[in-house]
Each structure stands twice: as C-alpha cells, then as structure tokens.
Amino acid sequence: MLRVAVVGSGPSGVYAAQALVGQTAVPDVRVHILDRLPCPYGLVRYGVAPDHEKIKSLQNSLRAVLEDDRIDFLGNVEVGRAGLGPAKLLELYHAVVYCVGAARDRKLGVPGEDLPGSHSATDFVSWYSAHPDAPPDAFALGARSAVVIGVGNVAVDVARILARGADELRGTDVPERALAALAASQVRDVHMVGRRGPSGAKFTTKELRELGALPSADVMVDPSDLALETAYADPAAVPAIVRRNLTVVREWAARPLQGRPRRIHVRFFLRPVELLERDGRVGGVRFERTEPDGTGGVRGTGAYQDIEAQLVLRAVGYRGVPTEGLPFDADRGVVPNVAGRVVRDGRFSPGEYVAGWIKRGPNGVIGTNRPCAKETVNSLLEDAAALVGRPLAADPEAELRALGQQPVRWRGWLAIEEAEAALGRALGRPPVKIPDWAGLLGAARETGSGGPGEAGH
C-alpha cells in the first residue's frame, strides 16, 4: 500500500487526493489530508466572499472527494509543531504532498504602512469569513473613508463588502459580530486604487460588474484616469477580458450618480508613496500620479494626490511562507521544485512534493489547481515503486497523537457543520460560521465520534 499525506485541505490538496485515489497505476493507495484548521476546504471556506454563493458551492464537490473511504481528513494537525516536521512525516508516510498555499500578503513598502487603521486585505477577508485566527473585533468600521490599494479580485471583494448594506449579507454565513460591525459601519466612500490603468488590472469582468449592481452604492470613475489608457487606441489588439473591463469602466465614467448612501471610487494610475498620520493613526494616503511608460509598465510623473482615509486595506498579492524543514525560494515565495518534485541542494528529495500556490506562486483561479495537482501526482506515481519499499510506522494517526496533536476527523467536521446550522437557526439566518478556535473544537468534541481523540471517518 502507498501511504500519502497531503498537507492542506484547500482545492489543491483535495485535487491531489482525488488524483491519487482516481488513478489505476498504483491501485492500493491511502491518503491522509492534514490541515492546521479543524475545518476543510481552505480558501473556499475562508477566502471566497460570503455573497459569492456559487463559488462557495464548490465545497460540495470537494466534500464528495473527502468522503471517499480511501481518504481520511485529519484537521487540527499543525505541521511544524511539536516535532511534526517534514522529516517526521516521512517516517509516517511514503510520500508527502505540501499544498500549503501562500499565507502572507505582500507589503507596500511605504512609510506609514504600519499605522493603526492600516491592514492587509487578507486580515479583513479572514475577519468577515470567520477565520479562527482573526480577532472578532478587529474592524469596528468607524471610518468615513476607506482606501483599498489594488485592482484585483480580492480588492473588488473587500470594496464590495465595505459598500454593501448589512441586510444584503444577512442571508450569508458572515459571523454575527462582523455582521453587526458592518451594520454599524460609518464608511461612506470606498476608494479602490491601482497604479496601472484598467487594461493592467487583474479583476475579472464578472466581479467588476457586481460593483455596479450594488443597490446601496454609486460607482464613480474619473474620466481623466481613463484618458491615460493607451489600450483605448486599439481595443482589438488587447485580450477580450481587457476589452470587456474597459467597456465597464467607460460606462461607469459616463453614468450619472443615483444618490445612493455609499460611493465606490475606482481610480487608476495612482501609486501609493506614503500613508499619512493623523491623531496617531492613518488619516490618508499620498499617491503619485503615474503614466504609461511605453513598454507595458508605468512611471511616476512627480505629481501627487492625497486621498483621505481612516481605513486602508492593501490587496497587492500574496506570498508563500517557508515551512520549517523544507527548502524555500525566498525571492519567488515557493518551494523549489520540478513538476512538483521538491528540490533540495540541486537534487530531488525522495517522497516530498508540492502543489498549488506553494509550487507555482499565487496565480490562477481555483480551477488552475486541478492540472497543477495532477502534474504533481503524476510525478509521485512515477516514483512510487521506489517509495513503497521504505518501512513506516504502523499507525500514523497514533504517532500524531503521541506528539500531542489532537486530530479532528471527518465526523468531527460534520459536527461543526451541524453546530453552525443550529447557530444560524437560533439567529433566524442560514448556517452561520463559528469564528473561534474554542467554539470549533468544542463542537467537534461534542459528537463523541470523530472529534479530537475519537476515531471514525
């Protein structure tokens, strides 16, 4: 039997497990999916916006994979803690596939970035997604004006959540404290700002159009920003998605205001150079006006503009973080690999593999992880004959417990789901996420079958 650990239960991890049990070259495979959290699905649970129900429904197809009898979910298992590093995992499993994503946000690298009121978009997403690491009172939303730096889909998500009315989110799984904070929000102006023009933005047209459909917010585009956009000169020469995005922002620039309670200002060709302090916290952002440099990039013009803001959220990308005991390319933020095989000191490391963002960097959509994981699993299967000959500990889960880990098995996760459904019923809402570690682990334990210390798939 080929025994494999997959570290991470987001899409890349689940797709890797699916590829392992779905192949026929090595018919006898057993997969343990290990996750630091007691809940599966990774960013599908904790990164997809609560009002994106269609994308969140991907959990149903991931669930079908995790319910396979050849796959065991072991949540609340933290690799790198209490002696459970890569070397120890190779004593328990023939192969380990690391699907740990890119957990850290990129910094702006400008003065004032660490002022109170300045946050990463990752922190804001974790807060409204009920991630147990996020302080429940992290965002009081007393700001009148918010600046979101970035023009990708994450920036669009956080701008949309800030501009939505709380009543529009009551039918989602937003935790109760976040919903109350959004209901009391004083934010009236949301500025989403990018250093390039709309042709260089990373958002998708569908996400962009959602901003314009909000009943509670007017969307505003400065025509002078669009005047710098060189793609207008020959729209046929740019990709279709760029043409569609250009059409949307041009429509917004010409649209009359409707007098809605909030305003979303979509700005281009502005590069942040400093976060401004006022009364000991962030009070605004100073931007330098940029212009196309003729080579696809932008250059500064020496002209500056300040935008008032008591809340600043940076959404300028993610970075992988090192796992102790694994090699790491700090420049690219990935584990060095070839087709998913981990490379140590110029050589393949037997039994160690990567998939997802930690393999290729933070790019692509959720579906991109499927072929990425399949490539990695193909590499693993090519190596399988050499891997299965290595002796292993008889019971890897018992070894995990001996190290002080307390795995939450699949039935423990189902108990968390039921507890969240019950919480929603009590609040007159759909299932509402439990936002804290104690609540999640307490719900898992209450089943008596599958929580920490219990057996059962």
Band of residue 338 on the pLDDT scale cut at 50, 70, 90 = very high
Q: Which residues are annotated as a binding site for FAD?
A: 12, 43, 79, 357, 364-366
| Residue 250 identity (one-letter amino acid) | R
What does the mean pLDDT of the chain come to? 93
Query: In sequence order, what are the residues at sequence separation of 6 or more whose Cβ sits closer than 8 angstroms to the Cβ of residue 9?
Result: 33, 34, 35, 37, 40, 41, 42, 66, 73, 75
Range 208-235 average pLDDT: 91
The residues, any chain, with a CB within 8 Å of residue 349's CB and separated by 6 or more, are 327, 341, 342, 343
Whether pLDDT at 451 is above 90: no
Is pLDDT of 233 > 60?
A: yes
**Percentage with pLDDT > 90 across the chain:** 84
Per DSSP, helices labelled H in 293-450 are 357-360, 369-387, 396-402, 410-427, 437-445
pLDDT beyond 50 at 107: yes
Q: Which tokens belong to 428?
A: 């007159």
| CB-neighbour burial class of residue 385 (10 A; exposed 0-12, middle 13-18, buried 19+) | exposed
Which positions make up the binding site? Answer: 12, 43, 79, 195-196, 207, 357, 364-366
Q: Determine the pLDDT at residue 453.
A: 42
pLDDT band at 454 (very low <50, low <70, confident <90, very high): very low
Each residue's pLDDT tens digit, 344-389:
999 999 999 999 999 999 988 899 999 999 999 999 999 999 999 8
> Domains in the chain, ordered, with CATH?
2-103+320-406 (3.40.50.720), 105-318 (3.50.50.60)
pLDDT per residue over 81-90, tens digit each?
878 999 999 9
Confidence at residue 112, expressed as pLDDT on a 0 to 100 scale = 97
Cβ density class 406-443: b for 16+ within 10 Å, e for less: bbbbbbbbbbbeebbeebbeeeebebbbbbbeebbbeb
Residue 180 structure tokens: 């109350």
Q: Is the confidence at residue 251, as pLDDT, over 60?
A: yes
Residues in binding site for NADP(+): 195-196, 207, 364
Q: Of 13-17, 50-54, 141-145, where does mean pLDDT reach its minimum?
A: 50-54
* pTM for this predicted structure: 0.93
Asked if residue 263 has pLDDT above 90, the reply is yes
